[in-house]
Amino acid sequence: MNVHVSALAKTHHLDEREAQFAHDVVEGLTQHPKRLPPKYFYDEAGSELFEEITRLPEYYPTRTELGILHDRAAEIAAILPGHAALVEFGAGAATKARLLLGACRFAAYVPVDISGDFLNGQARDLSRDFPKVAVYPVIADFTAPFALPDAIRDMPKVGFFPGSTIGNFDPHEASAFLRSARAILGDGATLIVGVDLEKDEQVLRAAYNDAAGVTARFDLNMLARINRELDGNFDLSGFAHRAIYNRERHRIEMHLISRRAQTVRVLGQAIPFRAGETIHTESSYKYSIARFTALARGSGWTPRATWTDSAGMFSVHALLARD
Ligand code: AVI
Q: What is the average per-residue pLDDT within 140-152?
A: 93
Judged against a pLDDT cut of 70, whether residue 173 lies above it is answered with: yes
- Give the count of alpha carbons within 13 A of 68, CB side only: 27
Q: Between 4 and 154, where is the model more confident? A: 154
Judged against a pLDDT cut of 90, whether residue 80 lies above it is answered with: yes
How does the average pLDDT of the chain come out, rounded? 94
How far does the centroid of ligand 1 lie from the alpha carbon of residue 38, in Å? 9
Question: What pLDDT shows up at residue 121?
Answer: 79
Is 164 touching ligand 1 by the criterion CB < 6 Å?
Answer: yes
In DSSP terms, 245 is beta-bridged to: 252
Residue with the smallest CA separation from ligand 1 atom 6 is: 284
How far does the centroid of ligand 1 lie from the alpha carbon of residue 284, in Å? 7
Q: Residues 260-300: pLDDT tens digits?
A: 999 999 999 999 999 999 999 999 999 999 999 999 999 99
Judged against a pLDDT cut of 70, whether residue 2 lies above it is answered with: no
Q: Between 6 and 252, where is the model more confident? A: 252
- φ, ψ of residue 281 in degrees (nearest 5): -100, -25
Q: Residues 84-119: pLDDT tens digits?
A: 999 999 977 788 999 999 999 999 999 998 877 777
Q: Which atom of ligand 1 is nearest to the CA of 243?
A: 11
pLDDT-derived band at 10, boundaries 50, 70, 90:
confident
Residue with the smallest CA separation from ligand 1 atom 2 is: 165
In DSSP terms, 190 is beta-bridged to: 158, 320
User: Can you say whether the dihedral through the CA atoms of 99, 100, 105, 108 is positive or negative?
Assistant: negative
